[in-house]
Structure 1
Amino acid sequence: MTALTASPTDSPPLPAAQALDAAARAGDPDWFPGLAVAVPLGIQHVLAMFVSNMTPAIIVAGAGGFGFGSADPSQLIYMIQMAMLFAGVATLLQTIGIGPVGARLPLVQGTSFAYIPIMIPIVAGRGVEGMAALTTAALCGGLLHAVLSVFVGRIRFALPPLITGLVVLMIGLSLMRIGIQYAAGGVPAVGTPAFGAWQSWLLAGVVVVVTLGLNFFGRGIWSTAAVLIGLLAGYAAALAMGRIDFSPVASAGLVMLPTPFPFGFAISASAILGFCLTGFVSSIETIGDVDAICEGNAGRPASDKELQGAVAADGVGTALAAVFGAMPNTTFSQNVGLIAITGVMSRHVVTVGALVLIACGLLPKVGAVITTIPIEVLGGGVIVMFGMVASAATSMLAGVDWTQRNMLIFGVSLSLALGLQLEPTALQHVPETARVLLGSGVMPAAVCAVLLNLLVPGGTARRRA
């Protein structure tokens, strides 16, 4: 998962971290800097990923018909709470570990954007029935993802930057329409006079302007939490305009415990296949994050044990979350960048952040407050986040050797995937399973690019020297 974050050159570490001997400590994930440093740094990790973590749950709930503005916000609140709770649990799997599960590195887990193009067709207009199929598929996909950890190092050759960059680009492109719809008033308002009203664009614009201003000119926490602060600015503007309804907060309980299979259990072949294939792509992103932490902060390559443990934690975390109605998890790249900023590679710091997430996940008042955010305010943040996903893809693709062969593989795969997503009626005569997968955008791009890269003469796509 990639989102706005500061670079090491323009954001100095927190004052507490400046006093640390970073040169001596940065490469030791087992070192604990003390609570005075661990608590603020752990909270900073939560702030950096908070908005990105809850957004997929909100989008999926909206597609299922019980999102923002619904008569009964209880299901949306539950999904938001579980997103926080199981992001914290999955993070603990990474930092503390259980047997072969977990890298024992400072890896922050959160709800994955990569699965959204697959999840939306599964739940669209189907409500609880669609959520049952989704969570069942996530459980199956997560278990396969965990098994895949044993072999993932051997199949990395099939996923060079040409393919991973293309897949990440398609994720960003697939989601941009959602950002615009939210900013203009939300999906229920499409086709009505209220859709695209200037008040909607004003709220979204406040979020975008504040977020960009803080990221460009802010330092430290102001830049790291730019999206969150931008949302708070948009929320304040909405409050001044009389757009906030606090009734869900008043009616929310004090404690919310997870419920096994809250949406039921339903088997969908297309959903399960989609989650399994997307989990394969997600595992490569996790490997990249582990490599970045070890090479950038410890000056060494990641070990096979760390890589396998990290991918296994992704899968187990996703399966566990699915049992309780939460979305699939993956490592968050923005938090990898935050470690480079602070110079503290302690896994115990991230453990503190995980405990904060778990605490928030058990308090439904937190989720209820989030449901009071106007959809246009969320849309402003989503526009920035999804744009950054696409930008991250261009950074990955910049290192590709753009021979005619690679350009053709990229162009054909992109054209096919984007075209099928823009014109879904072209798939009306294919079976439902194939229609869901081919219409997602991400899946046809990944499959087409992998097959062409392996079959077309000229060697697999490689990074430019």
Structure 2
Amino acid sequence: MAETTDRTLTAAYGVDELPPWRQAVPMGIQHVLVMFASNVTLPLLVASAIGATTGETTLLVQLAIFVAGVCTLLQTFGVGPVGARLPIVQGTSLGFTVVAIPLAEEYGLAAVFGGGLVAGLVQVLLGTCLRWLKPLFPPLVTGLVVLVIGLSLLPTGLEFAAGGADAPDFGAGQNFALAALVLVLMIALNRYGRGFVSAAAILLAIAVGYLVSVPFGLVEAQPIADAEWVAAPIPLAFGVSFPVAAIVGMAVMAVATTVETIGDIGGVTAAGEGREPTARELSGGVLADGVGTSFAALFSAMPNTSYSQNVGVVGLTGVVSRHVVSIGAVFLVVAGLVPKLGAVISEMPTPVLGGGFLAMAGMVAAAGIKLMTADAMTRRNMLIIAVALGLGIGLLNAPDAVAMAPETLRITLETGIVPAAVAAVLLNAILPHGERAAAPRGADTEERGGATRHTDESPE
């Protein structure tokens, strides 16, 4: 057992610890199952938008899986200053969807990958500077970003539980029943199981949900049968090009993705070890994001980013081992080389994922609250929280409020994450600490020279 700096939080396995292989392998696969659907969603959407052939679509999905594995290994093992060396899973960034689809339709796939190459370089620059920018991201700010990320994921979890947005039976009772089965089983195994059963609760619950789905005809066998056994990834399969629209749009989204990555890194350390991330971890994590995104572009995969739902896995299981995530990454690389294995996972019914996703999103939000409250809840800090959450959650739930904004700006605003982060950073920088304020009735008083001074917050 590795005890953390927070005495109320104990990690089942620390960052550098490796559980026994019989436990580590299933727990690594567990991380893959949680992120798999999101990882292949963007390439499928882009392929559908441009009318790609079946062969092209299959290749895009295969490359997305392969690249996610390589980029995750870069994050967990690290190369020099690159990599947070934390249990962070990398995968295709859905945040780039609204940029990638118009670019693919207007300029072709080459423009998407050219823009992705530039986006990665932007993130590398940001990661290089992040050591000096860390004072801008105290626990209050980082926790707010993590909280907004978690809250923004909850609607997706509910949508998955209902069957997926495009499902003909969206909202059907059987979908919610299947999601509920997975959720209840996961909770029961996590809280009442022992050792491996508790740590692998997500994997076991999803596996049961998958098997239950088969006799109901929710798993199609033909795509699995049609998938090839072995296929090597092809670099620059669709080429690269650099129209101005691709460079600008992808660069702006790279900044937004960097904010999310900072939040995810803070979420992992808070949920798993009850501490703030170090400057080295933040810088290395963003650098890995950038290098991974540029690498993805060279292998015709969409921009990569850290996956928030896997932060929830860390929080739920208490397994903070980066080696467990590395095992999952190797599984992704193998799945990218063996399309039939990827096809088995791709046939996972959406409600099965939804049951686990809801809990993961909630755990991300809980990690944000834990990190945020590491700072005293003074009136100053509560004001920052109020404004940042007001903007973040407000725009998340009312994206049409910025419908008239230019498309690139609208994209960065409507998720709510970037506005919340910007508001928190700015307010934290300009609002004075320990300011005097009128105290409520009953506040402590100090008397100096016959005068009474009311105080309601101590210097921070």
Answer yes or no: same fold by TM over 0.5. Answer: yes
Q: Deviations over 1:212-251 (max 9, x none)?
A: 1111112233222222222211111111212221100111
Provide, for residues 283-323 of structure 1, a one-character-per-residue CA deviation record: whole Å limited to 9, x for no partner: 46447758999999xxxx99876765454333212321233
Q: Which amino acid counterpart does residue 378 of structure 1 have in structure 2?
A: L
* Contact 2:388–2:424 (CA under 8 A) maintained in structure 1: yes
Match of 2:137 in 1: 159
In 2, Cα distance between the equivalents of 1:126 and 1:175? 25
In the superposition, relative to structure 1, how do residues 278 and 111 fare at CA in structure 2: closer, same or farther (>3 Å)? same
Structure 2 residue 201 is the aligned partner of structure 1 residue 226 = yes
Gap change, CA 1:40 and 1:143, over 3 Å in 2: farther
Whole-angstrom distance in 2 between the partners of 1:294 and 1:176: 24
Question: Cα gap change, 1:138/1:393 in structure 2, threshold over 3 Å: closer, same or farther?
Answer: farther
- 1:13-412 superposed matches below 5 A: 39-40=21-22, 42-61=24-43, 64=46, 66=48, 78=59, 81-94=62-75, 97-102=78-83, 105=85, 107-111=86-90, 115-116=93-94, 118-123=95-100, 135-189=113-167, 194-261=169-236, 265=240, 267=246, 269-283=248-262, 285-286=264-265, 308-324=283-299, 325-330=301-306, 333=311, 354-412=329-387
Relative to 1, partners in 2 of residues 1:464 and 1:365: Cα closer, same or farther, differing over 3 Å?
farther
The one-letter amino acid of 1:111's match is Q
Which residue number in structure 1 is paired with residue 439 of structure 2? none
Cα distance between partner residues in 2 of 1:304 and 1:458: 23
Separation of aligned partners in 2, 1:336 and 1:177: 21
The 1:359/1:62 distance shift into structure 2, 3 A limit, reads closer
Q: Sort the Cα spacing of 1:212 and 1:64 in 2 relative to 1 into closer, same or farther, 3 A.
A: farther
Q: What corresponds to 2:4 in structure 1? A: none
Say whether the 8 Å CA contact 1:143–1:315 is kept in structure 2. yes
Could you tell me the TM-score, scaled by structure 2's length? 0.76
Kept in 1, the 8 Å contact 2:143–2:369? The answer is yes
- Using the TM superposition, give the Cα deviation of residue 429 of structure 1 relative to its aligned residue in structure 2, in angstroms: 2.3
Residue aligning to 1:3? none
Cα offsets for 1:237-289 (capped at 9, x unmatched): 11121222110011111123223455665615233212223214514644775
Is the 1:166–1:410 contact (alpha carbons within 8 Å) kept by the matching residues of 2?
yes
Report the 3-state secondary structure (helix = DSSP H, G, I; strand = E; otherwise coil) of the residue aligned with 1:201. Answer: helix
Which consecutive unaligned segments of at least 5 residues does structure 2 have?
1-6, 436-457
Q: Please tell me the root mean square deviation across aligned C-alpha atoms, in Å.
A: 4.2
8 A contact 1:257–1:362 mirrored in 2: yes
Q: Is the 8 A contact 2:137 2:425 kept in 1?
A: yes
- Correspondent of 2:410 among 435, 445, 449: 435
The structure with the largest alpha-carbon Rg is 2
Residue 416, structure 1, aligned to residue 401, structure 2: no
Alpha-carbon distance between aligned partners in 2 of 1:348 and 1:437, rounded to the nearest angstrom: 33
Q: Residues 379 and 276 of structure 1: is their aligned pair in 2 closer, same or farther, counting only changes over 3 Å?
A: same
Where in structure 1 are there 5+ consecutive unaligned residues? 1-6, 14-25
For residue 430 of structure 1, report the CA deviation from its aligned partner.
1.7
Structure 1 residues 170 and 59: CA distance shift in structure 2, 3 A: farther
Specify the code of the residue in structure 1 equivalent to 2:298.
Answer: V
Contact conserved, 1:256 with 1:363, CA < 8 A, in 2?
A: yes
**Larger RCO (CA within 8 A; separation ≥ 6):** 1
- Of 208-217 and 265-274, the range deviating more from structure 2: 265-274
**Cα distance in 2 between the residues matched to 1:38 and 1:128:** 48
CA distance in 2, matches of 1:56, 1:359: 18
Could you tell me which amino acid in structure 1 is paired with residue 99 of structure 2?
Answer: I
AA partner of residue 85 (structure 1)? F
- Equivalent pairs counted in the alignment come to 424
